[in-house]
């Protein structure tokens, strides 16, 4: 895609559907219009590839309550040794959506 990864720091939040971090930018303003896919129910997300404390992962940035959030799964959280309430170093860039199995 030719876009540069975006780095930021954010606190890990314990949400209703799992852990997230609030993203301090709008992905479409940062990287231009991007394809989205349904992450769960009708919530659409921008597919991203990133690093959390140096641990690689694939995930989505979603829009909820007029704020952008990066979804974090348990595997990358365990590998990074982070827990809710802790400050994380994050790097993300858009990725191509992968068809679901």
**69 beta partners:** 22, 62
With a cut of 50, say whether residue 94 has pLDDT above it: yes
1 is a domain residue: no
Which CATH number does the domain housing residue 10 bear? 2.40.30.100
**Residue 100 within any structural domain of the chain:** no
Q: Give the tens place of pLDDT for each residue, 26-61.
A: 999 999 887 787 877 788 899 999 999 999 999 999
pLDDT of residue 101: 46
Domain span at residue 90?
Answer: 6-94
**Is 101 part of a structural domain of the chain?**
no
pLDDT the model gives residue 98: 60
Q: How many CA atoms lie within 13 A of 52 on its CB side?
A: 29
Three-state SS at 6 = strand
């Amino acid at each position: 895609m030719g876009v540069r990864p975006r780095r930021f720091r954010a606190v890990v939040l314990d949400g209703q559907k799992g852990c997230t971090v609030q993203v301090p930018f709008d992905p479409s303003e940062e990287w231009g219009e991007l394809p989205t896919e349904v992450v769960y129910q009708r919530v659409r997300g921008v597919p991203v590839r990133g690093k959390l404390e140096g641990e690689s992962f694939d995930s989505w940035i979603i829009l909820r309550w007029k704020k952008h959030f990066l979804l974090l799964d348990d595997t990358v959280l365990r590998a990074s040794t982070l827990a809710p309430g802790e400050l994380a170093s994050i790097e993300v860039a858009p990725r191509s959506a992968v068809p679901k199995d």
